[in-house]
Amino acid sequence: MSLFGLLTPQAFIHGPIETGAQIIVIVAVLVTVLAITYLGRWRWLWQQWLTSLDPKRIGIMYILLSFVMFGRGFVDALMMKSQQALAVGAPGYISPDHFAQLFTAHGVIMIFFAAMAFMFGIINLVLPLQLGSKDVAFPLLNSISFWLTATGALLLNLSLVVGQFAATGWLAYPPLSELAYSPGVGVDYYIWALQIAGIGTLLSGINFLTTIATMRGHLRLMQMPMFTWTTLGSMLLVIFAFPILTVTLALLALDRTLGFHFFTTDLGGNAMMYVNLIWAWGHPEVYILVLPAFGIFSEVVATFSQKKLFGYTSMVVATMLIVVLSFMVWVHHFFTMGAGADVNAFFGIMTMAIAIPTGVKVFNWLFTMFRGRIIFATPMLWFIGFLTTFTIGGMTGVLMSIPAADFQLHNSLFLVAHFHNMIIGGVVFGFFAGFTYWFPKFTGIMLNERWGKAAFWAWIVGFLMAFMPLYALGLMGVTRRLDHIDVASGLYTQPWAHWLFDIAAAGAAVIALAVLFQIIQIIVSIWNKHKHHVGENPWRSQGPEWQEPAEPLHERSARGVAIGAVAALFGFGLIWHIWWLAALALIGILLSLITLPKPEYAD
Amino acid sequence: MPTDKTTLGFWLYIMSDCVLFASLFATFAVLRGSEDIFSLPFVFVQTLALLISSFTVGLAFVTKKQNTFLILTLLLGLGFLGLEVYEFKNLMLEGFGPSHSAYLSSFFALVGTHGLHVAAGCLWMLVMLVTQRFYQLQRLVLFWHFLDIIWIFIFTFVYLFGII
Amino acid sequence: MKHYFDGLILSLLFTLLSFGLVGMHVHMNHTAIPHELLYVVLPLFAVAQLLVQTVYFLHLPQGNGWNKFVYGFAILIVVLVVGGSLWIMSNLQHNQSEMFIGEPSPEHQLD
């Protein structure tokens, strides 16, 4: 057994395009390190940011992480779109295996390291202030959670430099993800990046729920702002859904590393059990993401309609109903796997049912706007964009909740359009609305409205162009994850199929423009901060987080960074079968847990 | 109150662990098979050891004699683990290791995960006894009770069902 | 203290009942008690012991609202995950192991 396990110099050698990516990652890291050194900012970075226990700083770090990872996930998308545009009756420029890694990485990055990271960022910033508390329940745990997430992102990016990533799709179904069919380290990178980040997420769920439960002061439950309520719902889902992911990934790891037989094709293994378990987690996961976005919209609609939110009680009830129901619909992700009509019908009906509380929310927002004095600032535009796109996506969801229809549409571009509709229209637009809305609270700077509006319009036009054609193409039978299209399929040469693909590709380019506008918006706003400077409550919101200034907190601890670093070594050791490294790292983790300092309140 | 905060947080962790074990139980139930590999008296002794240790750990909390009762609990816990390691070793030596079938994989994963939790609890107790700091005792007690509750379902659905 | 002792006795009771029943069953060459009965009674004893330990060891009824709420929620999720998985996977099994008995009907012939 080699000292470095499976790691050999070969692992650093890749094809031409991957080598390009590898170089970019290495150069980016070097440039960052050199820049910080040149500016003499290491001490500042360490003391003010990396070891900070201030949830506002941790929140900003989460958001910056999510921006970086979103960039990478978006580049993956652009590469896929360009490959599909070029690869009609031709090989294109990306090999099938590389393409598979692209769509896998795109999904994993966007869900775990763009969306989840941003969500925890916003919660860290806003939740304590909405509760009238200075901090979360467990500040050190908060830092540890961030660093575990960062470690997951690190491992994922490391797969670009050494080794490869999974080529299995973002959920890594067996048997493809088993050792027999994915013999490299790609799936192991996937497993350990997500396991480590997943622990961070679970700990955050516990942290934020405890914060809401015990640090409200005199605030009663039915007085809490809607963002707090939806965060409560989301964190309940995190606590009860993430353990399922932990188990499922662990079982896959046991199959791959120790020759167990949970999901293998022989000796009694059942790959479908993996699909069952991963979606029992996967469905709550999408509600984990969208509930806080709904909460943001509640805050935004009330503020920019200059009216109290309509139907608070029904909003709360709807939120909790969504929480419970989200654990009762998961089979709709695999209607075609072979269950009988009774199972499929039950879950189809439950899926339709969960649209009802969501509809209640939509109507409450509309009634909030009714007879309000609407201000069409950028956050409100994001809300209106959400309203239109999310409704379309929701309707296509209910369409697919009918098992018979789903048999036609499963794994087609129709499905791809639907879930991007929900995640972009719902989650991403919600996060953009929140980012624009709360930016002045935490920086004293209002984001430039002109660039904000330009970005909104580019996003919504780009999104519609990129994804509406996919609904039609899916109905015409085009499947997802195609790395090339055979001329024999006749598909691309049909005149208007051709148009649909081209519009979709153009849409991706428009979204790229939109992202550029957002980057410009941030730069312009900060560059001209004297022009964009605002007071304490520029939107004149009734929200509690706006009523008092947010003080910086000065507690620090290096333990979060340390645990993150040791977790990275642990993950790396397991991935490459460097057992001594993994064992040492594990001991390190245990030691850091055992030597946690005694809290002041303990007797 | 800070104490409530920490206890609630720990309780939430325990609840998440319930779902963790539920997933392992579900996998065990779905991938079930049968092998004649269990011994009723052996499991009975294990069960008694854990049940009594659940009692002694509670006593460590309500009386002020933490050292006595924690040492008792630790010994019972280590005894339980010793029996389990013995059982696992023998199964593997006799060709019933986890890589032999999905059923055995599930058995080792479910019972092994429980065993790892017990080991963690033992380590926790050891650290408490060595440092003589008992401020985490209430949480340890919760943890230990929870492990005994999981064992109830393990001995019922894994062992007793496997023996019938 | 007495609470704990009562809990121990009750838990022991259910444990002995479960093991005793199975012991008897095995002793009589697996014939004394019908399997189906055991498959119902043993889980019931397990649930009973869960309730005993929840009340006597965990003192849940005296706990605060949040503790009780998440406990209830956990029970719900456990039932959904275990029960749901069993229902779904056995349904799959049942629907996928149907073999044609004899000749397939004309529509199902391949040529």
Handedness of CA C96, C100, C106, C109 (dihedral sign): positive
In terms of domains, do C46 and C77 share one?
no
pLDDT the model gives residue A487 = 77
C104 phi, psi to nearest 5 deg: -65, 150
pLDDT tens-digit profile of A339-370?
999 999 999 999 999 999 999 999 999 999 99
- Percent of chain A residues topping a pLDDT of 90: 87
Least confident of A178-187, A403-412, C85-94: C85-94
In terms of domains, do C54 and C81 share one?
no
Q: How many CB atoms lie within 10 A of CB A224?
A: 19
Q: Cα–Cα distance between B59 and C1 in angstroms, integer?
A: 7
CB A174 within 8 A of CB A274: yes
| Count: domains in chain B | 1
Full domain range(s) for residue B61: 39-163
Residue of A251, A272, A334 to mutate for C, most C C-beta atoms under 10 A: A272
Comparing A469 with C92, which gets the higher pLDDT? A469
pLDDT the model gives residue A384 = 96
Query: Is B111 among the domain residues?
Result: yes
In terms of domains, do C52 and C69 share one?
no
CB A422 within 8 A of CB A394: yes
What is the rounded average pLDDT of the residues C68-86? Answer: 96
Q: Which residues of C touch B (CB under 8 A)?
A: 1, 4-5, 7-8, 11-12, 15, 18-19, 22-23, 25-26, 30, 35, 38-39, 42-43, 45-46, 49-50, 53-54, 57-58, 64, 66-67, 70-71, 73-74, 77-78, 81-82, 85-86, 89-90
CB B152 within 8 A of CB B65: no
Distance linking the first and last C-alpha atoms of chain A: 49
CATH at B101: 1.20.120.80
pLDDT at A601 > cutoff 60: no
DSSP label of A412: B
Residue type, C24: M
- Tokens describing residue B42: 């052996």
In terms of domains, do C9 and C44 share one?
yes
What is the rounded average pLDDT of the residues A11-17? Answer: 89
pLDDT the model gives residue C97 = 65
In terms of domains, do C20 and C69 share one?
no
pLDDT the model gives residue A527 = 93
pLDDT the model gives residue C101 = 46
The CA angle A522-A523-A527, to the nearest 5 degrees, is: 120
Looking at every residue in chain C, the average pLDDT score rounds to 85
Query: Is B5 among the domain residues?
Result: no
In terms of domains, do C12 and C50 share one?
yes
Single residue among C59, C75, C91 that ends a domain in this structure: C59
pLDDT tens-digit profile of A268-279?
999 999 999 999
pLDDT tens-digit profile of B6-15?
999 999 999 9
pLDDT band, residue A445 (cuts 50/70/90): very high
Residue B143: CB partners within 8 Å, gap ≥ 6?
A: B10, B14, B117, B121, B124
In terms of domains, do C8 and C28 share one?
yes
- Stated pTM of the model: 0.95
In terms of domains, do C4 and C23 share one?
yes
A113 phi, psi to nearest 5 deg: -110, -10
Which residues share a beta bridge with A88?
A: A485
CA dihedral B32, B29, A278, A323 (to 10 degrees): 170
pLDDT band, residue C63 (cuts 50/70/90): confident
In terms of domains, do C47 and C80 share one?
no
pLDDT the model gives residue A291 = 98
pLDDT tens-digit profile of B16-65?
999 999 999 999 999 988 888 999 999 999 999 999 999 999 999 988 88
Residue of C nearest to A280 (CA): C81
In terms of domains, do C83 and C111 share one?
yes
In terms of domains, do C54 and C7 share one?
yes
DSSP label of B31: T
pLDDT tens-digit profile of A271-314?
999 999 999 999 999 999 999 999 999 999 999 999 999 999 99
- Percent of chain C residues topping a pLDDT of 70: 86
Least confident of A401-405, B113-117, C106-110: C106-110
Q: What share of chain B is helix, strand, coil (3-state, %, to 5)?
A: 85, 0, 15
Q: Cα–Cα distance between A117 and A138 in angstroms, integer?
A: 18
Instruction: Please confirm whether the linkage preceding A16 is cis (ω < 30° from 0).
Output: no
Whether residues C85 and A342 touch (CB distance < 8 A) is answered with: no
Chain C positions touching B11 (Cβ under 8 A) are: 67, 70
Full domain range(s) for residue C16: 1-59
| Count: domains in chain C | 2
pLDDT at A598 > cutoff 80: no
In terms of domains, do C80 and C41 share one?
no
**C69–chain A nearest CA distance, Å:** 11
Q: For A268, which of B23, B24, B33 is closest by C-beta distance? A: B33
Q: What is the DSSP string of A247-262?
A: HHHHHHHHHHHH---S
What is the rounded average pLDDT of the residues C72-93? Answer: 94
Looking at every residue in chain A, the average pLDDT score rounds to 94
